[in-house]
Amino acid sequence: MIILGIDTGINGAMCILQQPRKKLQFTIFSLPIHIYTYGSKKRKMLDGREFRRLLPSNSRNSVLAYVEEPINIGGHRGETTKIEMSGAIKQILFLAGIPFTLVYPSQWQNRLWKNAAWVKDLPRKEKPSIHYIKKHYPQIDLIPPRSKTMSDGFADSACIALYGKTASEGDYE
């Protein structure tokens, strides 16, 4: 079984989680972004054709996708883009025949580190998802191409895929 964890947004990522034997195999990509021009304005949006090319085929193995559902906090431009990208991702997954489940950030975060004491002890600037992945899966490279810093989008997508793995196996709920 192949599980996709997708963190929507301009800095989002897609994690492909496979378990060929007993060891988990993670492959993480930045979401492909294309700059569209409307009159004199330029907007960054999901490149649907490239995103579809990155998706695994649903023929041999069953593929399940878990997509982070953005929370609308009203009028914030970044959240509007995230909502638009989430809609485009859901449409592409539907057309590709890949079943998907929408996941709120609080759902996957509570499942992975609910009541964990280390979350309270983190430095203010460190993201819990990055800390969780570095601690439990140090083999995952969280630094995107052409970047020097770790991406919380990469870490979030890996955490969403891990959430999907536990949900699909019935470990929780």
Q: What is the pLDDT of residues 92-115, one digit of tens each?
A: 999 888 899 999 988 888 888 876
Which residues form the domain of 42?
A: 2-116+152-168
Asked whether residue 128 is domain-assigned, the answer is no
Look up residue 161 and give its amino acid.
Answer: A
Position with higher pLDDT, 117 vs 138: 138
Which parts of 55-104 fold into alpha helices (H)?
A: 77-96
Nearest-angstrom CA–CA distance, 9 and 152: 11
Amino acid, single-letter form, for residue 48: G
Task: Give the per-residue pLDDT at 62.
Answer: 85
Assess if residue 127 is contained within a domain. no
The percentage of residues in the chain with a pLDDT greater than 90, rounded to a whole number, is 17
Tell me, yes or no, whether 96 lies in a domain: yes
How many domains does the structure of the chain reveal? 1
Residue 16: inside a domain, yes or no?
A: yes
Instruction: Say what percent of the chain tops pLDDT 70.
Output: 89
Q: Is the pLDDT of residue 173 over 50?
A: no
Cα 126 from Cα 99, distance rounded (Å)? 33
Separation CA 99–CA 163 (nearest Å): 16
142 part of a folded domain: no
User: In this structure, are strands 13-18 and 2-7 parallel, antiparallel, or unpaired?
Assistant: antiparallel
Query: What pTM does this model have?
Result: 0.85
Read off the pLDDT of each residue in 118-142 and give the average, rounded to a whole number: 82
Please determine, for residue 12, whether its predicted confidence score (pLDDT) is greater than 50.
Answer: yes
Q: Is residue 137 part of a domain?
A: no
Domain holding 103: CATH number? 3.30.420.10
Residue 102 belongs to some domain of the structure = yes
In a domain, 173, yes or no: no
